[in-house]
Amino acid sequence: MIQYIFRFIPASVSLVWVIVSVSVLLFLYVQLSVLSRREPPGPRPLPLLGNLFQVDLKRLDQSLFDLSKEYGPVFLVSFGPKKVVVLAGYRTVKQALVNQANEFGNREVTPIFYDFNKEHGILFANGDSWKEMRRFTLSTLRDFGMGKSISEQRIIEECGWLIEEFDQFQGKPFDDTHTISYAVSNVLSGLMFGKRFEYRDPLLQAIVNRDNETIYLTGTASILIYNMFPWMGPWLKNWKALMKNMEDGKADLGKIITELKDTLDPDTCRCFVDVFLTQKQNLKGNNHTHYHDDNLLYTVMNLFAAGTDTTATTINWCLLFMAKYPHIQERVQEELNQVVGSRQVRIEDRKNLPFTDAVIHESQRLANIAPMAIPHTTSKDVIFQGYFIKKGTTVLPLLTSVLYDESEWESPRTFNPSHFLDKEGKFIKRDAFMPFSAGRRVCLGESLARMDIFLFFTSLLQHFSFTPPAGISEDELDLTPVVGFTLAPQPQGLCAVRRQ
């Protein structure tokens, strides 16, 4: 039919039709290509400096949260010359980290993270080494009871030591930050080294206090600037302090590992380090093995620093909220009295302590201790919510925007345990509860952390009531966080008053 029609159309007209058709097709192709490679929106950057003057580096997560309200759940900011895609809101973060886990699952190794680990270990690594170290670590820690009854018993024993320590202050104000960190660290030490330390052991104190300082300094404005302009490092006081901390930490943990190596018996594995060393011996001569001294040292350092700080910080927030809201504390203690009485709380009691469980979850949500997940990068070019994101682009999942998402939480800025309770007072899970992040890079110690937090918190609330120091009202307790890489409560000298 078409051929019949064209027989009556001059050749010149046919040529025009062809040219017009091809032009239209090319135009549509170009337009579709442009649309498919459309970058996310964002504030206009300045040359070299990017958007540095449009964000507050002292509270970066809040600045980015504010920008998301203007530019939407997927937007672009420039930190110096580096472009970063920010993901905001529960649905967007879940879509990226869970539904498209492979595309968004790589770790961004910033200059400071490279300085820390040289891409060894598990926190700041990628590729086959990361996969093998994560698999080995999860498997080995589970074998030693992580999240199981063996860990529960170890935590309960440590609860006894912690309660004794609190008793020594006889209800007077004290800063519980370090004491709780020592207790949490001892649980990890049992798994990693097969031993616990006395709270006044200089080695334990040095390791924990140094790690706390490192995590704080990593989130300071000067280190954020260093990540944008690495050549500035030698002139930055905080960078020099971090490098000294890392060297001292490697030396201290290296001594413990050497002692275990010197007394190693492959037939009697005492701890995580023993299993690693035995695996290393078994694979000796394999040129492609990931079981080498650097991976062991940095994996141990990663677990100790991240595991101790995040869990201890969460428990400190829980106790501060109890002192701030005594009516909530009283309800927790009433529930503990009715369900548990004077015996030791066990993990199996959690299902019968819905209000207590809700209080713990709400403390984690409102405390928001890890406001920005450790940065990710895209593993390949990806179209996400209509925007083109190039392979290797840094991606920041903004956990603040998840835990404070107004479309997910009824009163996101207030302490409200009802967020986790139904109308009958039963505990309910909330999908937008994401303090451990999600996807391929979800915290591998989540099960241990949840057990730590529950058992330490309930054991302390069984024995003590937490109050502000004399002369300070509950209203005067400050919930403004100390901003580092994590958000910690201000040291305020709470009183642990023995319950009758």
Structure tokens at 235: 């002139």
**pLDDT in the model for residue 215:** 94
Contacts of 211 (CB under 8 A, 6+ apart): 249, 304, 305, 308, 309
- Pick the closest to residue 310 from 428, 449, 120, 158 (CA basis): 449
Please state the residue numbers annotated as binding site for heme: 443
**pLDDT in the model for residue 151:** 85
- Cβ count within 10 A of residue 388: 17
Axis crossing angle, helix 293-324 with helix 326-339, rounded to the nearest 10: 110
**Cβ pair 438, 96 in contact under 8 A:** no
**pLDDT in the model for residue 287:** 73
Backbone angles phi and psi of 42, in degrees to 5: 170, 170
Q: How confident is the model at residue 349 (pLDDT cuts 50, 70, 90)?
A: very high
Q: How confident is the model at residue 7 (pLDDT cuts 50, 70, 90)?
A: low
**pLDDT in the model for residue 33:** 44
Given a cut of 70, whether residue 431 has pLDDT beyond it is yes
Given a cut of 70, whether residue 290 has pLDDT beyond it is yes
pLDDT digits (tens, 9 = 90+) for 394-430: 999 999 999 999 999 999 999 999 999 999 999 999 9
448 forms bridges with which residues in the sheet?
none
Q: What is the Cα–Cα distance from 259 to 197, expressed in whole angstroms? A: 15
Given a cut of 70, whether residue 341 has pLDDT beyond it is yes
pTM for this predicted structure: 0.90
**pLDDT in the model for residue 285:** 74
Tell me what the pLDDT averaged over the chain comes to. Answer: 91
Average pLDDT for 108-112: 94
**pLDDT in the model for residue 136:** 94
Question: DSSP label at 96?
Answer: I
**Cβ pair 109, 64 in contact under 8 A:** no
Element (H, E) at 400: helix 399-403
Domain boundaries, the chain: 124-366+410-498
**pLDDT in the model for residue 146:** 75
Percent of the chain residues past pLDDT 90, beyond the cut? 81
87 forms bridges with which residues in the sheet?
74, 397
Please state the residue numbers annotated as binding site: 443
Fill in the amino acid letter for 186.
Answer: N
Axis crossing angle, helix 293-324 with helix 177-193, rounded to the nearest 10: 150
pLDDT digits (tens, 9 = 90+) for 226-262: 999 999 999 999 999 999 999 999 999 999 999 999 9
Q: Are strands 74-79 and 82-87 parallel, antiparallel or unpaired?
A: antiparallel
Structure tokens at 207: 């390791």
Contacts of 264 (CB under 8 A, 6+ apart): 274, 277, 278
**pLDDT in the model for residue 24:** 47
**Cβ pair 266, 281 in contact under 8 A:** yes
Q: How confident is the model at residue 19 (pLDDT cuts 50, 70, 90)?
A: low
pLDDT digits (tens, 9 = 90+) for 457-473: 999 999 999 999 988 99
User: Could you say which architecture CATH assigns to the domain 124-366+410-498?
Assistant: Orthogonal Bundle (1.10)
